[in-house]
């Protein structure tokens, strides 16, 4: 049995880090019933530049871009089943959580949050799996 | 089709207990995606800090409750991300871990990260529904 696998091109190429930063990844890949997203850092959708800021600002930018990416493939934030949030310090957990809850008002996805060392000077990266 | 799996015991609802904005688990596409699990008492929701061994034991017991309430079980786990506070405890993790998934264990990745609230271990699980 061969399952369907399709690389997803974002509607806005500025938010595609594989182009901007020459990274060997696809922003999203559809496989089976799901869309798997690469971890997203805060990127200015107008310029493609890194949008460094507070935990709240970076979280908001990422989830805004994530919603746009999912909608470009016919999915949406409401179809997200699992989220992994990687933050630079668990002391900032609540600053992430407060913004996060605005984007998932009801029946939020399953989620794991952990503190790790991130690249690119970012404070947070978010990845997800969504129903296609 | 995306179903929220509610907490099988009131203490396991970390959203209500601690304000985590997450569902305990989501069932979709034949899989069950669980939120990262830490050692909490399933009745009271109190955190049960301890050793890697005691925390892992509590997590697996809670995971068993959660998966079985959703019609799955520990032996249907597909993938585990095991997060520990210090990789020096890797062997300690393995000793307790193999007791709960003795046969045909799931795919697994272990990493050393910061975990919420001073816990030593967190398990992030995907199981077949």
CATH number at residue B124: 3.30.1330.40
Q: What is the pLDDT of residues A14-46, one digit of tens each?
A: 888 888 888 999 999 999 999 999 999 999 999
pLDDT computed for residue A1 by the predictor = 58
**Contact check, Cβ <8 Å, B36/A82:** no
d(CA A105, CA A98): 11
Which residue from A34, A93, A109 is facing B116, i.e. has the nearest CB?
A93
Task: Calculate the CA dihedral of residues B36, B42, B44, B45 and round it to 10 degrees.
Answer: 0
Kindly list the residues from chain B whose CB atom is less than 8 angstroms away from the CB atom of residue A35: none
Kindly list the residues from chain A whose CB atom is less than 8 angstroms away from the CB atom of residue B22: 83, 108-111
Cβ-Cβ contacts under 8 Å for A120 (sequence gap 6 or more): A41, A50
Residues 29-58 of B with CB under 8 A from A: 29-30, 33-36
- Interface check for B68 against chain A (CB to CB < 8 A): the answer is no
Residues of chain A with pLDDT > 90, as a percent, come to: 83
Q: What is the pLDDT of residues A55-74, one digit of tens each?
A: 999 999 999 999 999 999 89
pLDDT computed for residue A9 by the predictor = 84
- Interface check for B83 against chain A (CB to CB < 8 A): the answer is yes
CATH number for the domain formed by residue range(s) A5-131: 3.30.1330.40
pLDDT computed for residue B34 by the predictor = 98
The yes-or-no verdict on residue A81 having pLDDT over 70 is: yes
Q: Tell me the shortest Cα–Cα distance from B124 to chain A, in angstroms.
A: 7
Whether ipTM tops 0.90, in short, is yes
**By the 8 A CB rule, do A126 and A80 touch?**
no
Nearest CA in chain A to B121: A114
How many domains are there within chain B? Answer: 1
pLDDT computed for residue A19 by the predictor = 86
Q: Tell me the shortest Cα–Cα distance from A60 to chain B, in angstroms.
A: 15
Q: Structural domain of residue B93, as residue ranges?
A: 2-128
Ranges in chain B, pLDDT < 70:
none
Where is average pLDDT lowest: A3-12, A101-110, B74-83? Answer: A3-12
Which of A33, A76, A81 is the best substitution to test chain B (most B C-beta atoms within 10 A)?
A: A81
Indicate the pTM of the whole model.
0.96
Over residues A79-83, mean pLDDT: 98
């Amino acid at each position: 049995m061969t399952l369907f696998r399709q690389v997803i091109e974002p509607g806005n190429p500025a938010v595609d880090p594989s182009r901007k930063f020459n990274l060997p990844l696809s922003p999203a890949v559809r496989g089976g019933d799901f869309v798997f997203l690469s971890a997203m850092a805060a990127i200015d959708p107008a310029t493609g530049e890194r949008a460094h800021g507070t935990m709240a600002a970076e979280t908001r930018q990422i989830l805004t871009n994530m919603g746009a990416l999912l909608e470009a493939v016919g999915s949406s934030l409401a179809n997200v089943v699992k989220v992994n949030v990687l933050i630079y310090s668990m002391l900032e957990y609540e600053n992430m959580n407060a913004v996060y809850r605005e984007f998932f008002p009801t029946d939020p996805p399953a989620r794991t949050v952990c503190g790790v060392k991130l690249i690119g000077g970012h404070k947070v990266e978010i990845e997800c799996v969504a129903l296609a | 089709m995306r179903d929220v799996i509610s907490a099988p015991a009131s203490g396991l609802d970390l959203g209500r207990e601690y304000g985590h904005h997450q569902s305990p688990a989501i069932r979709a596409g034949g899989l069950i995606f669980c939120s990262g699990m830490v050692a909490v008492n399933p009745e009271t929701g109190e955190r049960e800090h301890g050793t890697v061994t005691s925390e892992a034991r509590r997590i697996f017991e809670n995971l068993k409750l959660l998966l079985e309430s959703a019609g799955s079980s520990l032996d249907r786990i597909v993938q585990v991300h095991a997060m520990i506070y210090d990789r020096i405890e890797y062997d300690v993790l393995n000793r307790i871990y193999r007791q709960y998934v003795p046969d045909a264990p799931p795919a697994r990745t272990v990493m050393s990260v910061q975990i919420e609230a001073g816990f030593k271990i967190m398990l992030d699980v995907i199981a077949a529904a």
